[in-house]
Amino acid sequence: MSASTRSVSAPVTAGKLSGKVALVTGGSRGIGRAVAERLARDGAVVAVNYATNETAAREVVAAIRADGGTAFPVRAELGPAGDGGARDLWTAFDSGLAEHVPQAAPGLDILVNNAAVATSSSLYELSPGEFDTVFGVNVKAPFFIVKEGLDRLRDGGRIVNISSGVVRIALPEIMTYSATKGALDVFTRHLAKELGPRGITVNSVVPGIVDTDTNAAWLRTDPEKRAWAAAFSAFDRVGEPDEIADVVAFAASDDARWVTGAVLDATGGSGL
């Protein structure tokens, strides 16, 4: 039986996403954490994927439960080998949902492809292995997560891919990472057309520079670099994870039912 024919009977929390089930890759820290918490506040059951930091994932799940929501952790390390870790992710998702939310029908309504890794190796330094890792986590994994997840994703569902403002600002020192996000945006556009007949929307949400662990080493320690980062935005400040999560929540909601194949700019007006 395909997921589209099943009814959802997940626990109901009042909110726009009541009765929905969501999976957020890399949901244990940074933007992913904010997205997981926001979708849970909106009433969705949230599967919080992480790679290695189980403590962080458990913290997010505990915070969501303390707030009256429903969440469970899903360990799966995404990467370049095989199908990018997609089947491991879905196996862990299926068993986590059955174990933690037994009253919910199998399958899901909202997939947020958020997990990514960056590299600052220049064109001259980058090794083939590093290239494969960055493209593996950031492009191959989302592609196969979607491919392997299509029979789980219900009709009328949502896919949100987390891109980056670097697709339209040339920063040669991170060109490999930027190229992965360009590929993700192209995937978004084509996938939106492919899945339109099922009423599934596919959109990219594009953060600018956001204060997360990824940037912590320089953003939280060097005032000059923070000022440089802030100056990209029309608001002259760095973004916060919840400011991206709010845009993802819109894309995941019924309010965005007529929006697909779009690149939703959440860069705080970077590079205007």
Residue 205 bridge partners (DSSP): 162, 264
Provide, rounded to whole angstroms, the least separation between the CB of residue 106 and ligand NAP: 22
Rounded CA-CA distance 50/54 in Å is 7
Nearer to ligand NAP, 126 or 156 (CB): 126
Rounded CA-CA distance 6/60 in Å is 29
2 interacts with ligand NAP by CB under 6 A: no
**Do residues 178 and 119 touch, judged by C-beta distance below 8 A?**
no
Provide, rounded to whole angstroms, the least separation between the CB of residue 3 and ligand NAP: 23
Which uninterrupted H or E stretch holds 120?
none
The pair of three-digit structure tokens given for residue 250, joined into one six-digit string: 């819109």
Q: Which among 72, 93, 177, 187 is annotated as catalytic? A: 177
Rounded CA-CA distance 101/71 in Å is 9
Indicate the SS3 state at residue 14: coil
Per-residue x/- track, 46-75, ligand NAP (CB under 6 A): ---xxxxx--x-------------------
43 interacts with ligand NAP by CB under 6 A: no
Q: Quick check: is 50 catalytic? A: no
- Between residue 122 and residue 161, which ones bind ligand NAP under the rule CB under 6 A? 137
Q: How do beta strands 21-24 and 263-266 pair?
A: unpaired
Per-residue x/- track, 164-203, ligand NAP (CB under 6 A): x---------------------------------------
Other Cβ atoms within 10 Å of 14 Cβ, number: 8
Residues annotated as catalytic are 177
Query: Interface with ligand NAP by CB under 6 A: which residues?
Result: 25-26, 28-32, 49-53, 56, 77-79, 114-117, 137, 162, 164, 207, 209-210, 212-215
